[in-house]
């Protein structure tokens, strides 16, 4: 797969040039998750460190440097996206 095939999804003159590209990748990512019946998945493209920890409570928090997920996989599921169309992560 060539990266140049996605060039049309990057709008160079936009304040969020990567928005369409990330949305395309999100759609593909979650379609694959559906195909394999994955209930919990996070799409992260924002140049942040992701940290996952076990917790009896479900909680997600973001700082400038990381996205923190606290959850118990036995009881919690989630599907989220974390991206900023202005950032080439």
Task: Provide the strand spans (E) within the chain.
Answer: 41-45, 49-54, 59-62, 66-71, 79-83
> Binning pLDDT at 50, 70 and 90, where does residue 1 land?
low
pLDDT at 4: 85
pTM: 0.86
**Is the CB of residue 22 less than 8 Å from the CB of residue 6?**
no
pLDDT tops 90 at residue 15: yes
Q: What is the DSSP string of 17-35?
A: TTHHHHHHHHHHHHHHHHH
30, two tokens: 């979650």
pLDDT tops 80 at residue 3: no
Distance CA 23, CA 30 (A): 11
């Amino acid at each position: 797969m060539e990266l140049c095939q996605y060039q049309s999804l990057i709008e160079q003159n936009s304040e969020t040039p990567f928005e369409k590209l990330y949305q395309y990748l999100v759609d593909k990512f979650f379609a694959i998750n559906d195909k394999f019946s994955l209930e919990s998945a996070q799409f992260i493209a924002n140049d942040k460190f992701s940290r996952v920890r076990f917790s009896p409570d479900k909680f997600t928090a973001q700082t400038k440097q990381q996205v923190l997920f606290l959850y118990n996989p036995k009881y919690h599921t989630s599907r989220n996206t974390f991206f900023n169309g202005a950032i080439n992560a």
